[in-house]
């Protein structure tokens, strides 16, 4: 048993974890193997108000390949919805001689292109990226569809980068499909899991 404190009360973190864990409902998992893309074309509907994609050890075939996503509205095709998003990241190199925290305008999105989770560099033999994407109330036909995402990337030039994105699908139509891909090359390896939040 582990204990945590909020300053006045001590809690059993095992009990807390089990309480939070029951709110996550596993829906599906996809495993990449030299895959051009990974698409979730079912499981995103009005059942839940929030969906979370967890991606683990996403490894690209091309060092310039950026991990990206896009969506389709109900009945749509082509993964070309209008998205508005913003992007910033923090960096630290392995020798500990360089750090950076900055807003990255080139990775903002204001159109029908894919939104980047990172800036590439994950094709070294032991390098990859992991993180998550939250999609909020995708079945709403009243509001735009907000999302937030965070990735941790071990880059082939010995940098650790943490990237943060946020934005929305600029449509009041329901979003029911999400595609993940690299901007260049394939997704060599990695797993993506979809959960609903009850």
Give me the percent of the chain exceeding a pLDDT of 90: 78
- What does the pLDDT look like over 22-48, one tens digit per residue? 799 999 999 999 999 999 999 999 999
For the residues of 70-94, what is the DSSP string, one character each?
EEEETT--SS---EEEEEEEEEEET
Residue 173 lies in a domain: yes
Question: How many Å is the Cα radius of gyration of the chain?
Answer: 18
- Look at residue 59 and tell me whether its pLDDT is greater than 60: yes
- What does the pLDDT look like over 134-145, one tens digit per residue? 999 999 999 999
Residue 99 lies in a domain: yes
Residue 21 lies in a domain: no
> What residue numbers bound the domain in which 160 lies?
27-197
pLDDT of 102 reads: 94
Task: Map residue 192 onto helix, strand or coil.
Answer: strand
Residue 67 lies in a domain: yes
Q: Structurally, how many domains does the chain consist of?
A: 1
Domain at 32, CATH number: 2.60.120
In sequence order, which residues have a C-beta less than 8 Å from that of residue 88 and are 6 or more positions away?
Answer: 101, 102, 103, 104, 163, 164
């Amino acid at each position: 048993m582990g204990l945590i404190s909020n300053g006045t009360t001590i809690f059993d973190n095992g009990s807390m974890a089990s309480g939070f864990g029951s709110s996550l409902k596993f829906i599906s998992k996809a495993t990449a193997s030299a895959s051009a893309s990974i698409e979730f074309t079912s499981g995103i509907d009005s059942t839940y108000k929030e969906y979370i994609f967890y991606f683990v050890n996403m490894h690209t075939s091309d060092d310039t390949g950026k991990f990206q996503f896009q969506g389709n509205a109900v009945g749509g095709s082509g993964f070309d919805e209008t998205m508005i998003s913003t992007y910033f990241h923090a960096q630290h190199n392995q020798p500990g001689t360089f750090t950076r925290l900055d807003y990255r305008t080139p990775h903002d999105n204001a159109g029908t292109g894919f939104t980047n989770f990172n800036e590439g560099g994950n094709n070294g033999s032991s390098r990859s990226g992991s993180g998550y994407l939250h999609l909020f109330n995708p079945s709403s036909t009243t509001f735009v569809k907000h999302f937030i995402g965070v990735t941790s990337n071990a880059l082939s030039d010995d940098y650790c980068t943490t990237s943060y994105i946020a934005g929305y699908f600029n449509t009041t139509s329901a979003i029911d499909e999400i595609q993940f891909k690299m901007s260049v090359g394939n997704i060599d390896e990695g797993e993506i899991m979809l959960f609903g939040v009850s």
